[in-house]
């Protein structure tokens, strides 16, 4: 089946009511966290020594230990659990490769691998070439992301190559959500790093991290939908 035959299905909302409710629940939490972050910045509540200002780090979507970041860890972990459960229900290569994709994303997010790799390249390879340490760090992280991207694309290709027509649809859906993550997390991150500290630079941060949050929820929704489809197909086959 040709790739373009999947395009209409990629744009269709989830048909299953339970899947829609799951996705909307994720997006609702995202919306609340983003609303709090915007409120802090618009009203200037993140400045000062008061209790409200001191709690801003919990709601700063750009910080590694914030609520939104931990919620992101939950989403990646949930997708991995969905893939594991679907494999146990019905062994298939697609679940294994998609599990590996999101294990890589979880490891990078939770351990800040791109930041460590960027620092390593900045202090080693780029130390004598790029004078600006901030620029060297950014380029180092981009180099890491390029390498990680090659691995992720290879895993997605394998998942598509060995998947059934229905599984290939989910691979394309996952790929679309990951592409959105790349646009926000890598593209806007590079732009944000250039204007960091400038007035309203937090808006770029909102697009960067907020976009990542939303695309992560969409990917998690796809994972839940895939797992549910495995159980529903099993019920039909045994009917």
pLDDT in tens, the chain (239 residues): 455 655 566 656 467 889 999 999 999 999 999 999 999 999 999 888 888 899 999 999 988 889 999 999 999 999 999 999 999 999 999 999 999 999 999 999 898 888 888 888 888 887 777 877 877 887 888 899 899 999 999 999 999 999 998 899 899 999 999 999 989 887 787 777 777 777 778 888 899 899 999 999 999 999 999 999 888 875 434 33
Judge whether 98 and 82 are in contact, CB under 8 Å.
no
Cut 0.85: pTM above it: yes
What pLDDT sits at residue 198?
73
pLDDT at 239: 34
Residue 238, pLDDT score: 38
């Amino acid at each position: 089946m040709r790739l373009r035959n999947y395009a209409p299905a990629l744009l269709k909302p989830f048909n299953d009511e339970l899947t829609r409710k799951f996705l909307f629940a994720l997006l609702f939490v995202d919306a609340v966290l983003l609303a709090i972050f915007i409120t802090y910045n618009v009203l200037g509540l993140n400045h000062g020594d008061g209790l409200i200002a001191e709690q801003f780090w919990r709601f700063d979507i750009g910080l590694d230990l914030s609520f939104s970041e931990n919620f992101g860890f939950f989403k990646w972990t949930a997708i991995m659990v969905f893939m594991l459960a679907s494999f146990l229900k019905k062994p298939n290569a697609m679940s294994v490769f998609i599990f590996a994709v999101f294990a890589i994303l979880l490891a990078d997010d939770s351990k800040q691998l791109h930041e460590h790799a960027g620092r390593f390249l900045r202090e080693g390879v780029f130390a004598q070439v790029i004078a600006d340490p901030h620029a060297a760090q950014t380029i180092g992280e981009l180099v890491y992301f390029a390498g990680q991207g090659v691995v992720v694309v290879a895993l997605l290709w394998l998942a598509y190559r060995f998947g059934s027509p229905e599984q290939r649809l989910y691979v394309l859906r996952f790929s679309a959500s990951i592409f959105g993550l790349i646009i926000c997390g890598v593209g806007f991150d590079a732009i944000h790093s250039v204007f960091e500290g400038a007035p309203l630079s937090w808006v770029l941060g909102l697009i960067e991290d907020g976009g990542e949050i939303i695309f992560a929820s969409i990917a998690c929704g796809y994972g839940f939908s895939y797992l549910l489809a495995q159980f529903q197909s099993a019920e039909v086959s045994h009917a």
